[in-house]
């Protein structure tokens, strides 16, 4: 076995199932080992941000490791934004970057793709990964790799592995099995006991599930826990889609004053909120009323638990959920059942399309053709998706980068074999839409709905007076054929329904549905979100609102 094979086998043993990448000379030897060893399949894409997004999505959809392999400098630095997203949203993405051979710098020349020093890239990645290793000694490599992969899994965050090109084919032994960290089971048991007492003492306890529940593969166990404790369940905004694969009754997604009033009332009137794996970010809680005191919540995140002024350090969420289950009685109470949303009747006529028509049409199509996992970009498509029935759902809602949707849809299909439904605005589509050209080669056939309002609509909503948010009409459906897919451009509700039906019923090629909308069309949720954020950032608005 050589270093490259040892790394690949360790990745597979730790749960990785595929690699996304773009080669370059510093990583060619490793790509050769990937191809020849066939330990993990390799999917090449066109631009490194998409490589990172797709690998991140594969990690998220499978609650496991994702892998992105790129060349030194030009490749790895191109991927920084995607890795930053994975870091911020807690996705265990393994970044493997090729690098100059150990002796290449000896000639005294600066090397191509080198920025400042040969260590610059590693230092940049130190900010956006939880562990960094350089494999420069084949004897030490197995231990280093074991440690790095273990950190990615334990923290659910990216790690950076730098692999100099002259190391790849050196003989190497296999990576040792991971030895679990020591934990204080007594402390975990006691913490679980206190959580259960607080929940039992409350009149209106509510469980809010967040991204960590999915990242750590805990959905079935958390659904069981919620049923045993008869806890009403909501998801955080970032956690939308969590528990969708279980039979838990999820009441909806919390989005403060921008969200559904019944869900907001449930959360805001609760006398004991239980935030399980919820990131405390402005996107999750920025639109909550000041009366929502998060310090009073029981909050499990980042390996510790806080409640009132108490902190329990070193409480891994997986062990905590198991301890909670161990202390609750099986079958004592059960709130189960699928989330039922009343659908208002869909109008299929020749009226222009608004965002709400898109969510209605997708709900109807999913009822007729079956559910698909959804990958959403940011922009109004994300707020439009709040009206889509609870389904497996990935998006970049906290870090809010753009261009995640299309590559995430590709990552989902590579990871699961299931075609995905992608929701994306025209601005975000301009960033990574080209990646659809890779579908044919890899056998993917996502359905991509482009919400085309000829501009950066969300920014327009915040600042309507500026014309720089106008993008013009690019006629995206026309490029579908040359990229190997089917394209449809729709302007009425009737055409939208037919196009979605057609897309669901055809297989084998990607389906691009370009939905033309008025430039100022906004979903009701985004409209409320913009008002809430403006009130937050503009005291004058707040005063006007208070006196209104
Ligand atoms: C990588 C800033 C946030 S929302 C937005 C921008 C430019 C407009 C999105 O336009 P789109 O959707 O996709 O047409 P919609 O519904 O608003 O019309 N660069 C990056 N990430 C972010 N978040 C921005 C800029 C931004």
Structural domains of the chain, count = 3
**Atom in ligand 1 nearest the alpha carbon of residue 457:** 18
Position in ligand 1 atom list of the atom nearest CA 430: 13
From the CA of 425, give the closest atom in ligand 1: 13
Find the helix or strand (DSSP H, E) in which 77 lies.
helix 74-78
The enclosing domain of 7 has a CATH number of 3.40.50.970
Q: Which of 89, 379, 381 to mutate to test the pocket of ligand 1 (most atoms within 8 A of CB)?
A: 379
Same domain assignment for residues 238 and 159: no
Asked if residue 71 and residue 207 are part of one domain, the reply reads no
Region 36-45 average pLDDT: 98
Dist. CA 195–CA 528, nearest whole Å: 34
Residue 338 lies in a domain: no
Flag whether 541 is in a domain.
Answer: no
> Where do we find the tokens 């498509």?
381
CA–CA distance, 35 with 47 (Å, rounded to integer): 20
Domain boundary among 311, 326, 341: 326
Same domain, 24 and 121: yes
pTM of the predicted model as reported, rounded to 2 decimal places:
0.95
Cα 425 to middle of ligand 1, angstroms: 8
Does ligand 1 lie within 6 Å of residue 433's CB atom?
no
Q: Helix H segments across 129-204?
A: 141-155, 185-201
Residue 484 inside a domain? The answer is yes
* Together in a domain, 159 and 272: no
pLDDT digits (tens, 9 = 90+) for 213-230: 999 999 999 999 999 999
- Kindly state the DSSP code that residue 332 receives in the 8-state scheme: S
Q: Examine residue 13 and state whether it is found in any structural domain, yes or no.
A: yes
The residue behind tokens 């948010």 is 469
449 Cβ closer than 6 Å to some ligand 1 atom: no
**Atom number in ligand 1 closest to CA 429:** 13
Domain that holds residue 76: 3-164
Residues 157 and 252 in one domain: no
Of the three residues 288, 305, 326, the one that is the final residue of a domain is 326
Cβ(85)–Cβ(56) under 8 Å? yes
* Domain presence at residue 316: yes
pLDDT at 112: 80
The answer to whether the Cα torsion of 4, 169, 162, 114 is positive or negative is negative
Tens digits of residue pLDDT in 179-188: 777 899 999 9
**Are 111 and 79 in the same domain?**
yes
Spatial separation of the C-alpha atoms in residues 390 and 411, rounded to whole Å:
20
- Report the atom number in ligand 1 closest to the C-alpha of 380: 16
Q: How far is the CA of 482 from the centre of ligand 1 (A)?
A: 26
CA distance 245 to 253: 16
Q: Is the CB of 254 under 6 A from ligand 1?
A: no
What are the CA-CA distances from residue 513 to residues 4, 7, 118, 326, 441 (Å)?
Answer: 41, 41, 45, 48, 21
Quote the CA–CA distance of 364 and 345 in Å, as a whole number.
10
- Do residues 270 and 402 share a domain? no
Q: Is the pLDDT of residue 25 over 90?
A: yes
In a domain, 147, yes or no: yes
Same domain, 379 and 521: yes
Shared-domain flag, residues 203 and 244 = yes
User: What CATH number corresponds to the domain at position 277?
Assistant: 3.40.50.1220
Residue 317 lies in a domain: yes
Tell me what percent of the residues of the chain surpass a pLDDT of 90: 88
Q: What is the mean pLDDT of residues 346-364?
A: 92
Coil/strand/helix, residue 425: strand
Residue 180 lies in a domain: no
Q: Are 196 and 282 members of one domain?
A: yes
Average pLDDT, the chain: 93
Q: What is the pLDDT of residues 159-218, one digit of tens each?
A: 999 999 999 999 999 999 877 778 999 999 999 999 999 999 999 999 999 999 999 999
Q: Is the pLDDT of residue 107 over 80?
A: no
List the structure tokens of 234.
Answer: 């909501």
Q: Probe ligand 1: pick from 427, 450, 474, 522, max atoms within 8 Å of CB?
A: 427
Domain termination site, one of 164, 195, 224? 164
Same domain, 231 and 194: yes
Please report the pLDDT score of residue 475 as a whole number: 97
pLDDT digits (tens, 9 = 90+) for 55-69: 999 999 999 999 999
pLDDT at position 331, please? Answer: 57
- Residues 276, 368 within the same domain: no
Establish whether residue 241 lines the binding site of ligand 1, counting it when its CB lies within 6 angstroms of any ligand atom: no
> Looking at the predicted structure, is the pLDDT value of residue 27 above 70?
yes
């Amino acid at each position: 076995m050589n270093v490259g094979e040892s790394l690949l086998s360790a990745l597979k043993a730790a749960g990785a199932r595929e690699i996304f990448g773009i080669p370059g000379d510093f990583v060619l030897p490793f790509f050769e080992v990937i191809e020849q060893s066939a330990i993990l399949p390799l999917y090449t894409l066109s631009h490194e941000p998409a490589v990172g997004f797709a690998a991140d999505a594969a990690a998220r959809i499978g609650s496991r490791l994702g892998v992105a392999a790129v060349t030194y400098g030009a490749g790895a630095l191109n991927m920084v934004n995607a890795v930053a997203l994975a870091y911020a949203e807690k996705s265990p993405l393994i970044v493997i970057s090729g690098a100059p051979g150990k002796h290449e710098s000896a000639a005294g020349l600066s090397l191509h793709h080198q920025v400042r020093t040969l260590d610059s890239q590693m230092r940049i990645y130190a900010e956006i990964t939880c562990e960094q290793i350089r494999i420069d000694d084949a004897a030490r490599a197995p231990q280093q790799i074991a440690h790095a992969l273990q950190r990615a899994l334990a923290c659910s965050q990216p790690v950076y592995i730098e692999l100099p090109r002259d190391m790849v084919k050196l003989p190497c032994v296999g990576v040792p099995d991971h030895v679990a960290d020591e934990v204080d089971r007594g402390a975990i048991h006691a913490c679980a006991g206190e959580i259960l007492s607080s929940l039992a003492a409350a009149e209106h306890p509510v469980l809010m599930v967040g991204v960590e529940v999915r990242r750590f593969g805990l959905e079935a166990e958390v659904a069981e826990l919620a049923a045993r404790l008869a806890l009403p369940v909501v998801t955080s905004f970032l956690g939308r889609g969590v528990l969708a694969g279980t039979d838990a009754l999820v009441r909806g997604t919390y989005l403060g004053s921008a969200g559904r009033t019944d869900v907001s009332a449930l959360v805001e009137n609760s006398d004991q909120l239980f935030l399980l794996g919820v990131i405390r970010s402005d996107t999750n809680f920025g639109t909550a009323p000041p009366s929502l005191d998060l310090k009073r919540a029981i909050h499990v995140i980042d390996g510790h638990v806080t409640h009132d002024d108490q902190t329990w350090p070193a409480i891994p969420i997986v062990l905590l959920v198991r301890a909670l289950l161990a202390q609750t009685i099986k079958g004592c109470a059960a709130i189960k059942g699928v989330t039922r949303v009343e659908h208002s009747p869909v109008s299929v006529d020749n009226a222009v399309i608004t965002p709400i028509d898109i969510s209605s049409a997708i709900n109807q199509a999913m009822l007729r053709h079956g559910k698909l996992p959804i990958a959403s970009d940011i922009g109004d498509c994300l707020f439009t998706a709040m009206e889509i029935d609870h389904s497996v759902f990935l998006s970049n809602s906290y870090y809010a980068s753009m261009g995640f949707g299309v590559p995430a849809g590709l990552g989902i299909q590579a990871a699961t074999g299931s075609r995905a439904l992608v929701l994306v605005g025209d601005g975000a589509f301009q960033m990574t839409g080209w990646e659809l050209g890779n579908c044919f080669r890899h056998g993917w056939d996502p359905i991509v709905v482009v919400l085309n309002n000829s501009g950066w609509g969300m920014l327009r909503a915040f600042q309507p007076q500026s014309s720089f948010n106008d993008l013009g009409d690019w006629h995206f459906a026309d490029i579908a054929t040359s990229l190997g897919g089917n394209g449809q451009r729709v302007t009425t509700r009737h055409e939208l329904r037919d196009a979605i039906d057609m897309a669901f019923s055809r297989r084998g090629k990607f389906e691009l549905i370009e939905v033309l909308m008025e430039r100022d069309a906004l979903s009701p949720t985004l409209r409320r979100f913009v008002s809430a954020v403006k009130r937050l950032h503009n005291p004058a608005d707040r005063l006007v609102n208070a006196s209104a």
